[in-house]
């Protein structure tokens, strides 16, 4: 088995960075660039994962601080689904991934890193990239700088009047 370095995850893994309060609620108080918020919708926002499993790892998060999606009215949850589709279309167009992992971890025992504010993960995947768990065989990591990814995605999400292909 080969091991790949992912130094950007060190602060998260080692818990050297301990932010007080909710990381998502705190992000909303900062600039988009500082917080890596790519898009602010009506009820949800799209933010890059600061400690990604893969380049372009996005999360769709409600403004409302809730621990589970069943606490969000269906009318509001529709925006989450729309932003998921829009995110995938933008990632396909911008980075050409071969597939995606989508999901939520609800509760600490389910692996939620932020257990009190639910969010939907969108992780682009490429043939031969790093996996969520062990890295197996001849794996290469598709790497882009966080700043470059943010610039591309923020621009794509915020193009006014442009139809997004789905």
- The structure tokens 């589709």 sit at 85
Which position among 65, 119, 121, 154 bears the catalytic label? 119
CA distances from 132 to 22, 34, 102, 124 (A): 24, 26, 12, 11
Among 58, 78, 60, 82, which residue's Cα sits nearest to residue 153?
A: 58
CA distances from 5 to 39, 46, 143, 152 (A): 29, 27, 12, 24
CA distances from 100 to 9, 24, 58, 122, 124 (A): 20, 23, 11, 7, 5
- Active-site residue flag, 119: yes
Which residue numbers are catalytic? 119
């Amino acid at each position: 088995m080969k091991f790949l370095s992912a130094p950007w995850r060190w602060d998260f893994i080692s818990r050297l960075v301990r932010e007080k309060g909710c990381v998502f609620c705190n992000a909303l108080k900062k600039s988009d660039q500082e917080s890596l918020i790519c898009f602010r919708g009506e009820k949800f926002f799209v933010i890059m994962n600061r400690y990604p499993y893969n380049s372009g790892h996005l999360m769709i998060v409600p403004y409302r601080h809730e621990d589970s999606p069943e606490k969000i009215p269906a009318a509001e949850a529709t925006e989450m689904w729309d932003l998921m589709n829009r995110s995938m279309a933008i990632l396909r167009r911008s980075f050409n991934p071969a597939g995606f992992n989508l999901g939520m971890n609800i509760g600490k025992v389910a692996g939620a890193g932020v257990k009190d504010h639910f969010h939907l993960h969108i992780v682009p995947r490429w043939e031969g990239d790093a996996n969520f768990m062990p890295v197996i065989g001849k794996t290469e990591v598709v790497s882009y700088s966080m700043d470059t990814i943010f610039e591309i995605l923020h621009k794509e999400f915020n193009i006014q009047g442009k139809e997004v292909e789905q």
